[in-house]
Amino acid sequence: MEITKLAQAIDQAVLDAKPIQQLSAQTEFDLDTSYAIQAASLQLRYDRGEKLIGLKMGFTSEAKMKQMGVHDLIWGRLTDAMLIEQGGELPLSKFIHPRAEPEICFRVSKAIEGELTAEECRNYVDGVAAAIEVIDSRYEQFKFSLEDVIADNCSSAALVIGDWQDPTQPLADLSISLEVNGEAVQTGSSDAILGDPWKSMAAATRLAVKYGEHIKAGDVIMAGAATSAIFLEAGQSVAAQVQNLGAAGFNVS
Ligand code: OOG
Ligand code: MG
């Protein structure tokens, strides 16, 4: 009952593009309940016809943990309604206070039934790409506890994925940057993602098992930002550049 109510509050904030008070300010709940609220709020999206397209990992880099003051791995769900096409538009009016962060994205080649090691993950991926995740906390001031952010589907709001590249190439120590109007505003390395982006994918398989989520062929897995996120403003052209993997970008309108 409580879970349904809290999930509806989150979902309504998404639909209205209006922030709400942190759920933890109203009621106390634990991590398992946070994930139950996340699942229930996603169900409301599925009921409207949205489709699950994969998972995202969060707080896989020190830069992100420091920026948001939260220190634990989190994961959320991505739907087709969040996808922006490469070079497409992000309309600010549909979001509350969106931020962008540069990421690496994996494409899954076959269903994953159990927990995989970083080594084993390589046999389940047929593409890797530069990507941008747009996060838009549904909470006032973009402030939250770990429980709050998980309940809010880890701030997931939108994503753009660049062209798929050969996943057998090395992903260690690739330079990653976020550019606004052609100028780098954040720079980092793929090593910032748990020391190796494949480890983030392995963590996604572990958490999927733990929470009963299924990873299917064609799903995408976002490994988490390598740098801090930046606030978006109308008129910006935003791009993530990943060494050897190319770019992903959109325009803010
Ligand atoms: C939570 C989402 C974190 C990442 O890549 O670390 C995340 C947030 O920062 O609002 O997506
Ligand atoms: Mg992210």
As a whole number, mean pLDDT of residues 21-25 equals 96
Residue 147 has pLDDT above 70, yes or no: yes
**What is the Å distance from ligand 1's center to 229 Cα?**
8
- The pLDDT tens digits of the residues spanning 236-248 come to 999 999 999 999 9
Please provide the average confidence, as pLDDT, over all residues in the chain.
97
**What is the Å distance from ligand 2's center to 16 Cα?**
22
Instruction: Supply 42's token pair.
Output: 């996603």
**Pure H helices in 99-160:** 118-121, 146-151
User: Cα dist. 38→34, 43, 76, 103 in Å?
Assistant: 6, 9, 8, 22
As a whole number, mean pLDDT of residues 121-125 equals 98
**What is the Å distance from ligand 1's center to 184 Cα?**
20
Of the listed ligands, the closest to the CA of 133 is 2
As a whole number, mean pLDDT of residues 177-201 equals 98
Residue nearest to atom 11 of ligand 1 (CA): 58
Q: Where are the beta strands (DSSP E) in the chain?
A: 52-58, 74-79, 88-90, 99-108, 125-135, 156-161, 175-180, 183-189, 220-222, 230-231, 237-242, 246-252
Q: Supply the pTM of this predicted model.
A: 0.98
The distance from CA 191 to its chain's CA centroid, rounded to whole angstroms, is 18
Of the listed ligands, the closest to the CA of 143 is 1
Q: Which residues line ligand 1 (CB under 6 A)?
A: 56, 58-60, 64, 68, 101, 133, 135, 137, 149, 154-155, 224-225
User: Cα dist. 131→30, 44, 198, 222, 248 in Å?
Assistant: 31, 26, 15, 8, 5
With the most atoms of ligand 1 within 8 angstroms of its CB, the residue from 22, 56, 64, 97 to mutate is 64
Q: Is the distance from CB of 190 to CB of 171 less than 8 angstroms?
A: yes
